[in-house]
Amino acid sequence: MKILIVGFPRSGTSLTHRIFNKHPEIQKMFFETFIIRNYKKKQLVNLYKEFSPGVGCGEKIIYTKPVIGKQNSMTVIEYCQKWNSFFKEEARIIQPIRHPADSWKSMIKNSVHRKKSGVMKRLYNLYFETIPKYTEIINSFQNCFTFKYENLIMNRDEVVKDLFSFCNLPSFNFNERMKKNRVFANKKPPFPLHEKMEQTLDIFNKFEGPKYDL
């Protein structure tokens, strides 16, 4: 399998990356290296030729980081489409999502841009301009598995089992301790409600796990 992890910062993409990286059958993992940008299809085939069939490998990209090609820009949706065209039946897309209030509390605390109000405002608006549309479009791919970060934290073994099963990987015990006290850390967002907040939560509530509210 060729596993692509996509999502907004602070939504569980790094944790998902670690989950797959721990699996004994995954021999190679990329991390935000944009291999589709840097390699042509033939080069990628040669890159993976040393791995036996079925071995997982992955790359993490995030919605807000431009996927820049040599001549033009590529959206995360276009990147997913190209991933699928390259790897076809071997391609898998994993998309974690998280309550916007918690994502943004974590962003404000951990982002290298947290003290730059202009940058954070731009990212905040970009989040709500892309997340509602991108989440549904990416999830519409038949080879995509979308899950809630909160559900992973509260039901680790069940969600991890589903992730591996979706990627045709045997079960493996991922025993990293989850920080359950941070799941709903911020009931009231520390920022003005965006006009698309309710639309975003409506989309998120379609997926299994705790229900999101304003």
Q: List, for residues 29-58, the tens digit of each pLDDT value.
A: 777 777 777 777 787 777 766 554 444 566
User: Residue 57's pLDDT is what?
Assistant: 60
User: Residue 51's pLDDT is what?
Assistant: 54
User: Residue 189's pLDDT is what?
Assistant: 62
Question: In terms of C-beta density within 10 A (0-12 exposed, 13-18 middle, 19 or more buried), how is residue 197 classed?
Answer: middle
User: Residue 159's pLDDT is what?
Assistant: 95
User: Residue 34's pLDDT is what?
Assistant: 73
User: Residue 193's pLDDT is what?
Assistant: 81
CB atoms within 10 A of CB 41: 12
Structure confidence by residue, pLDDT tens digits, 151-202? 999 899 999 999 999 998 889 898 888 776 665 555 566 677 888 888 999 9
> Which position has the higher pLDDT, 161 or 110?
161
User: Residue 59's pLDDT is what?
Assistant: 65
For domain 2-204, which architecture applies?
A: 3-Layer(aba) Sandwich (3.40)
User: Residue 178's pLDDT is what?
Assistant: 77
Whether 82 shows a pLDDT value over 60: the answer reads yes
* Section 17-23 average pLDDT: 89
Whether 111 shows a pLDDT value over 60: the answer reads yes
7 strand-pairing partners: 62
**This model's pTM is above 0.75:** yes
User: Residue 188's pLDDT is what?
Assistant: 64
Whether 211 shows a pLDDT value over 50: the answer reads yes
